[in-house]
Structure 1
């Protein structure tokens, strides 16, 4: 296939995605399950047991608590993500602040049963994103409005084998709600500009070009070419092992399973149905037009499994270091494909994610009975291959710088606060008939209240 042929086909293609930029971890994974963890860049989470929030990361940590303990709070995400771009016909495809602010709440409870057994429960969000482009955005076929929210309800238990080994197992029920909107942008203009060349090259007959041109001429920038909304439950499990060398040195291994969410929702496209035969015959890759009517659509979303190795070493009565290496099997997320009741493809997006890692290092300073201070640094490896980067996921490697503190009112009640600055590298890429440059950063602020009964 010639370069010109590849260009003209991509110029006529619309890639529709249900995921987007701003989960504020690699891909669209969320780490924000506690303010104390935020303050140390979530380093050593599987081995630290300073509040009930850690149990959502490693259920084996339940055995570290000697009385019922509660923790609840939220992390506020304040991102700034700008996209600059241009279409092949010269139209500006830039927009600032494409990611809205967001709150990520968390609740945790741990209760020991006896010296060997205990249980815990938590409510967190492990995956999520939001992005908003204007309805008349030039590259609206690549980026529109996207919203994915998940709620993870976890119930777990733990068993202490001896003074060194503890084991934990948990069950996850994940509720996911998703909405996507995509718009025509300047795609009709690009189609019109590419038709004469396709006729000259023999890809289209004059009659086919006239039919496509007539259809494209009636499509405005803010025409909604794809809309999908749905919500569903998915289920998974998690497990953890804790090894205590002694009271000052702990190590852990944790695993969280893949969760498959099968969405059944409503699909609509304002593209005319008369365009569908041309789309199918020429393989243009357009979403299926419904002429503005609503039909059923289904899509499977694979939330990947995760492994984590963590360590905690109290090297001095007042100092500790902690560290983590996380490996996420993002290669399980290969495509987004929505199908109708009759099996027809409504839209398709090749993602081809690769497995990714996250490495974090932090330290804690135990000043006195009232004050604890912490800091951390982390690196998030992006799962998006360079050649697969899109405006819907202009994902990038990210660096975390974090700090935080805990103030204990007494032996029962305390408050955690944390703040992180996250910086993503600048990336340049081409998608279809558009070239883009994206750069993002974010501040994250968290607070939790803890109480031991």
Structure 2
């Protein structure tokens, strides 16, 4: 394959990236490949079966052929259905349609060997994303009607085989974050009548840098262990806060430039893979995500008469979360490998009072299956399906800093489906 073809594939993957609905806890997107979906991403930092190891553990590139390309796509469909149980927001229509919807999360990776012990590569992905969108007149409209987070991540990496047992890897990450946050204002009744409805929209973006490292250890010919770490990334989002409604003078007075600081969390993964005979392979994963880096988000005006004033505070008070995954693969024949997995994913949200309408998150359990087809000597196609069970999720959120938002009280009926395909080629 010519180098120009590789560049074209990677450029197309980057151009296709869109916001993704959060599938892991918080607004993290685990779907940095689709080949791990069927195993519930168990063994992610140790499996190193295609070039997507660049994201999960760059040291795994030393296990790959001299030149490897891997591209994938995950289709994610979350469902967030709200049932009102006593909200006090002044909105007559207390219900809402499903706040979730389908989204596509692409990825692309290429790695190549400089010599037998040194490999380099680059990955394209979207490690964080969120999309919730409600009816404009739902009970929590003053809290949010739309919250859209996009990230784009480019990850050049290098791996070094120290000896037959140990490999090391490292990478740098350029990341862009884009946010659109829409909410309704002035809707709690005043003197028995609701104020005219206006909508405030924050559009902001940031570019920032981070890094990642990994270790891959071959304990025996049948067992290997991977350990990887991805740094937190500090984003200073800058953009516009615009108000639209029936009063042009009010809109102009309340619109301004704005900024918000967000430190996206770090992640550490410990994985193991063990060959059990000639057909079975067992996989395990423990990971921690440092969500406590996001305690609150201040949206600050940076122009106009209120320059420097805090326009709004999103109080998240997130806690660090853990994820546990177990998986197995069965080599059915020379062409087909069957994959299975289960995982438990903790939410960073502490309780109903600190649960945001923009992120009605809760603990989730993954049930995954799929298969890998060897289409030829040098090509693989992975297919995976996952269903994420989420228990009924209560919310009782009242913003003490802004009484006009009112109280959102009720319960979410939520779930997530994930479908994915990954094609990997050695050349």
Q: Secondary structure at the match of 1:62?
A: helix
Distance 1:192 1:257 in 2: 51
Match in the other structure for 2:13: none
Q: Which entry has the higher C-alpha Rg, 1 or 2?
A: 1
Residue 139 of structure 2 contacts residue 408 of structure 2 at CA under 8 Å; is this kept in 1?
no
Q: Secondary structure at the match of 2:219?
A: strand
Q: Could you give the per-residue CA deviations for residues 281-338 of structure 1, whole angstroms, max 9, x where no partner exists?
A: xxxxxxxx75466421011121100111000000111101001000011000111111
Match in the other structure for 2:9: none
Q: Secondary structure at the match of 1:435?
A: strand
Match in the other structure for 1:233: 207
Q: Does 1:75 align with 2:77?
A: no
Q: Could you give the per-residue CA deviations for residues 344-390 of structure 1, whole angstroms, max 9, x where no partner exists?
A: 11111211100000000000111222111111000110000113113
Distance 2:157 2:234 in 1: 20
**Residues 294-309 of structure 1: pairs in structure 2 closer than 5 A:** 294-309=255-270
**Residues 115-194 of structure 1: pairs in structure 2 closer than 5 A:** 115-184=116-185, 187-189=187-189, 191-192=190-191
Instruction: Give, in angstroms, the shift of residue 54 of structure 1.
Output: 2.2
Match in the other structure for 1:420: 386
Residue 80 of structure 1 contacts residue 441 of structure 1 at CA under 8 Å; is this kept in 2?
yes
Q: Could you give the per-residue CA deviations for residues 157-186 of structure 1, whole angstroms, max 9, x where no partner exists?
A: 01111111111000011111111110137x
**Residues 308-387 of structure 1: pairs in structure 2 closer than 5 A:** 308-341=269-302, 342-386=307-351, 387=353
Match in the other structure for 1:16: none
Match in the other structure for 1:56: 55
Q: Secondary structure at the match of 1:331?
A: helix
Residue 144 of structure 2 contacts residue 181 of structure 2 at CA under 8 Å; is this kept in 1?
no
Instruction: Give, in angstroms, the shift of residue 21 of structure 1.
Output: 11
Give the stretch that moved more between structures: 21-30 or 364-373.
Answer: 21-30
Instruction: Give, in angstroms, the shift of residue 217 of structure 1.
Output: 4.8
Q: Scaled by the length of structure 1, what TM-score is found?
A: 0.83
Q: Secondary structure at the match of 1:269?
A: strand
Instruction: Give, in angstroms, the shift of residue 47 of structure 1.
Output: 0.4
Distance 1:321 1:217 in 2: 60
Instruction: Give, in angstroms, the shift of residue 137 of structure 1.
Output: 2.1
Residue 80 of structure 2 contacts residue 360 of structure 2 at CA under 8 Å; is this kept in 1?
no
Match in the other structure for 1:205: none
Distance 2:91 2:396 in 1: 14
Residue 151 of structure 1 contacts residue 174 of structure 1 at CA under 8 Å; is this kept in 2?
yes
Distance 1:219 1:272 in 2: 7
The alignment yields a C-alpha RMSD, in angstroms, of 2.2
**Residues 33-52 of structure 1: pairs in structure 2 closer than 5 A:** 33-52=32-51
Give the one of 252, 256, 264 matched to 2:230: 256
**Residues 420-439 of structure 1: pairs in structure 2 closer than 5 A:** 420-432=386-398, 433-439=407-413
Distance 1:81 1:349 in 2: 20
Match in the other structure for 1:31: 30
Unaligned runs of 5+ in 1: 1-19, 194-215, 276-288
Residue 67 of structure 2 contacts residue 111 of structure 2 at CA under 8 Å; is this kept in 1?
yes
Instruction: Give, in angstroms, the shift of residue 91 of structure 1.
Output: 4.3
Residue 83 of structure 1 contacts residue 94 of structure 1 at CA under 8 Å; is this kept in 2?
yes
Give the one of 196, 209, 224 matched to 1:219: 196
Residue 21 of structure 1 contacts residue 394 of structure 1 at CA under 8 Å; is this kept in 2?
no
- Stretches (4+) displaced over 3 A: 89-92, 270-273, 289-294
Residue 308 of structure 1 contacts residue 324 of structure 1 at CA under 8 Å; is this kept in 2?
yes
- Number of equivalenced pairs: 394
Residue 391 of structure 1 contacts residue 436 of structure 1 at CA under 8 Å; is this kept in 2?
no
Q: Secondary structure at the match of 2:154?
A: strand
Instruction: Give, in angstroms, the shift of residue 125 of structure 1.
Output: 0.9
Higher normalized helix content (fraction of residues): 1
Q: Could you give the per-residue CA deviations for residues 237-287 of structure 1, whole angstroms, max 9, x where no partner exists?
A: 0000111012321001110000111111011234899x9xxxxxxxxxxxx
Q: Secondary structure at the match of 1:357?
A: strand
Unaligned runs of 5+ in 2: 1-18, 399-406
